[in-house]
Amino acid sequence: MIRKATEKDIPSLASLMGELGYPTTSEEMETRFNKIQANPDYNTQVAEMNGEVIGMIGMILGTHYERNDHYIRIVAFVVASNYRNSGIGAALLNKAEEWAIENQIVKLVLNSGNRDERDGAHQFYTNRGFEGKATGFYKILPYDFDTN
């Protein structure tokens, strides 16, 4: 079953972020989730089986600078390792496509790291019609805003 994420899912979302390679505490996830849920341009969906959250997809509705249309960017997407290759990821992507259609959007966008452990994910995206068309660049600024 795919459904909208709620506050009760926060511990599961934190665990899934760890599986994605971003160790996260429940407290950190609660802070992030509350900010995300307050923004109507975000949509977080979870896959649930037998009462257990086993996957999630986090999306944001974006506006182009260079075009007159919109897009949906998938900013977080993960299925628990013991449920991969069972159709859960495809169901979550289908939910993203449904949200796009509801918003009259024809383009889904996502980034995925260029690490060996992401090769299976890259093949999964390609098999579902995504094209590798861009190179992402990141810069971490040398400022520390956590001066608690």
- Tens-place pLDDT, residues 15-54: 999 998 899 999 999 999 999 999 999 999 999 999 999 9
Sign (positive or negative) of CA dihedral 127, 130, 132, 138: negative
Low-confidence stretches of the chain (pLDDT beneath 70): 113-115, 117, 147-148
The model's pTM = 0.84
- Per-residue pLDDT at 25: 97
Helix (H) / strand (E) containing 109: strand 108-110
Parallel/antiparallel/unpaired status of strands 70-79 and 108-110: parallel
Q: What is the mean pLDDT of the chain?
A: 90
Q: What is the reported pLDDT for 113? A: 67
